[in-house]
Chains A and B, each alone.
Chain A
C-alpha cells in the first residue's frame, strides 16, 4: 500500500511507487550512495503536505525527481496524472519549485527576473506584465522592482523565489526548505504568504523542511523521510500517537501519594516523582486528566500547580530520527 492513500477515488497530484535513486561519485564512479530506497507516496490534489527528515534523508532528491530535475533509477512517478519520464515537458508547464537559498541571474532586477521566467513559461506580453505586477504586489516586492538580484537581502531573495514559483499559476508547487537561513520575522511572513496562497488558490503543495513549527503550522499531513525511505506518514497527531509520545502532566502537590497506584492508572505511560512534584506521561491529557484529578482527591493530596505539555512535532522528529 502506498503511503498517503486513504480513500479510493481521490485524485492524486503526486503518486510515487518504489522510487529509487543512487548517486555515483569518485573518479570511476565507484562510490555509490543510495539516496532513495523505494519511496511510496501519494499526495491528494489540493493538499498541503510536508516532508520531514534529517539532513541527507533524501528530501531534496525526492523533490528534484518530482520536478523533473533528476531522473529516477527505478519506480513509478506520476505527477498530475502523467508519468514524469515520458511527459516531463507537459508536467513542467503545470508545476513549479522554490528552494531555500534562492539564486537567480545576478544582474537582473526583480522585475526582469520575473519577466524572464514569465517568458520561459511562454506567457504573452500583456499577460506577463499583469502577472509580474500581481506578484510584485502579492509579495510586497514593489519597492525592489528595480533592484538587481545581487543587491537584495536574503529575505527579499526568498520572496522573489516564491514569486517566481507562481509565475505560471502552478497546480502543484514544491517548496524545498523555503525559509532556510531567514530571520524569524522574514520566515513568518513567507509562511503566511504560502498559507494564504494555498488557501486561496487551492494549489497542491509539497514542502520539505526541518523546521518543526513550520511543518506543524502549514502541513495537513507529514511524511517522515529517513535514510531514503518514508518511515511514517500522517497528521502530526497521528504521528504522535504512532510513537506513543503522549502528553506530560506536571503536578506540584502536598500530602501523601502512592506512586505505584498512580502509575497503574489507565493511560499512564510513565511516572516520575520527586518530593512534591510528579511528571505523568499520559497517552492523551484530555481523556486522562479527570481520572488523575480523582486520584489526587482520593489520596487526599492537595494540588498547588498543574501544567500540561503536549508533545510537539519536534519530539516526533527526534523520535523518528533516532
Chain B
C-alpha cells in the first residue's frame, strides 16, 4: 500500500518531468532567445515608439504599453503549454509519453510552471524596458494587483495552450499553427491596443468571452482608466476557470478520439 507521502512524491516527480522537458528543450533551442527576448522587446519598442510619435499622453501610453507587455507574456507562456505536446510531435516521440502512467494534470501543471517561468521572465524584461525607455512604471498598482493580474494572464495562457493541444489531437499536426495564431486573434479581440467598447456590437460580445479582456480592464483601472465592466477580476477568473475545466474534459475526449482514430500513433510517425 502506497503511503500519502510516496504518492505525493510520485505526483511531484511526474509533474516536474514536464518542467524538466520544457526547460531542457528551451535551453538548447535558439528560438528561446527570440521568443523570450527578441520578438517581445522588438514588438514592445515598436509599439512604444509609435506611442511617442503619436504624442500620446501618459495615460494613453500606459494603456498601449500595458497591452503590449500583457500579450507578449501570454504568448510566451501559452507556447510552453502547447510545447508540452508539440515537442513530442516534432521529435516523433508522442507514443512514449502517452504510454507512461501520467495524467493530464501532470502534463499541464508541469508545462504551466515552465510557462510561468518563461512568461514571467518576459514580463520582468518588458516592465524594466517600459521604465527604461518610456518612463512608464508598471508597478504602480502594487504587488497584489499585479500578482492577481499575472495569475489571470498565466491561467489564460494555459487555456490557450490546452486548446492548441486539443486541436492537434483532434485534427493532427497541421493544427499546430494554432500555437501562433490564437494569440493573434486575441490581439484583435480583447482590447490590447484599444478599448473593447470601440469594437462593433457582436465582436464586442465575443471579446467578453475572452478572459484576457477582463484582466486588462482590471489592471488598467490602476492607471486611471474607467473599466467598461464591473467586477472585471472576478469575471476574468470565472471565465478562465470555466475554460480550464471545460478544456480538461475536452482534452480527455480528444485523447480518447486520438486513441480511437489512430491519430496518436500517426503523430509518432
Contacts and interface: CB of A to CB of B under 8 A. Distances in A.
Nearest to A149: B91
Contacts of B87: 105
B101 A121 contact: yes
Contacts of B28: 107, 148
Given A69-B259, A97-B95, A117 B268 contact: no
Contact of B261 (A24, A60, A122): A24
Contacts of A115: 20
Given A70-B264, A89-B101, A105-B91, A119 B14 contact: yes
A104 B100 contact: no
A179 interface: no
Interface string A94-125: 01110100011111100010011101111111
Contacts of B174: none
B25 A122 contact: no
A11 interface: no
B265 A70 contact: yes
Contacts of B25: 105, 107-108
Contact of B21 (A89, A105, A125): A105
B101 A93 contact: yes
A69 B264 contact: yes
Given A105-B25, A108-B25, A97 B99 contact: yes
B265 A104 contact: no
B95 to A, nearest CB: 5
B88 interface: yes
A107 B29 contact: yes
Query: Size range of the interface on B?
Result: 35 or more
Nearest to B264: A69
Nearest to A35: B262
Contacts of B262: 23, 70
B91 A117 contact: no
A103 B265 contact: no
B98 A103 contact: no
A278 B27 CA distance: 71
Contacts of A105: 21, 24-25, 87-88, 91, 93
A71 interface: yes
Given A64-B265, A120-B17, A122-B10, A92 B100 contact: yes
B131 interface: no
A120 B14 contact: yes
Contact of A103 (B14, B17, B91, B103): B91
Contacts of B21: 105, 108, 116
A45 interface: no
B259 A108 contact: no
Contacts of B95: 64, 69, 97, 99
Contact of A117 (B11, B100, B260, B264): B100
B99 A67 contact: yes
Contact of A106 (B14, B27, B91, B256): B91
A125 B17 CA distance: 11
Contacts of A64: 95, 265
B2 to A, nearest CB: 10
Nearest to B28: A107
Interface in B1-48: 9-11, 13-14, 16-17, 20-21, 24-25, 27-29
A122 B14 contact: yes
A250 interface: no
A149 B29 CA distance: 14
Contact of A116 (B17, B260, B261): B17
Nearest to A89: B101
A124 B13 contact: yes
A120 B99 CA distance: 10
A92 B99 CA distance: 6
A311 interface: no
B252 interface: no
A38 B93 CA distance: 29
A164 interface: yes
Contacts of A96: 99
Given A104-B91, A119-B14, A71 B259 contact: yes
A277 interface: no
A128 B20 CA distance: 14
B141 interface: no
Contacts of B102: 120
Given A105-B88, A107-B28, A122 B93 contact: no
Nearest to A119: B17
Max chain B Cβ within 10 angstroms of own Cβ: one of A23, A105, A124, A149:
A105
B93 to A, nearest CB: 5
Interface string A151-195: 000000000000010000000000000000000000000000000
B231 interface: no
Please provide the 8 A-B residue pairs with the shortest distance between their CB atoms, ordered closest to farther: A119-B17, A122-B10, A120-B100, A103-B92, A107-B28, A92-B101, A71-B259, A93-B101
Interface of A: 23-24, 60, 64, 67-71, 89-90, 92-93, 95-97, 99, 103-108, 112, 115-117, 119-125, 128, 148-149, 164
Interface of B: 9-11, 13-14, 16-17, 20-21, 24-25, 27-29, 87-88, 90-93, 95-103, 256, 259-262, 264-265, 268
Given A92-B99, A119-B17, 9 more contacts: A68-B259, A69-B265, A89-B103, A106-B90, A115-B20, A119-B13, A120-B97, A120-B100, A122-B9
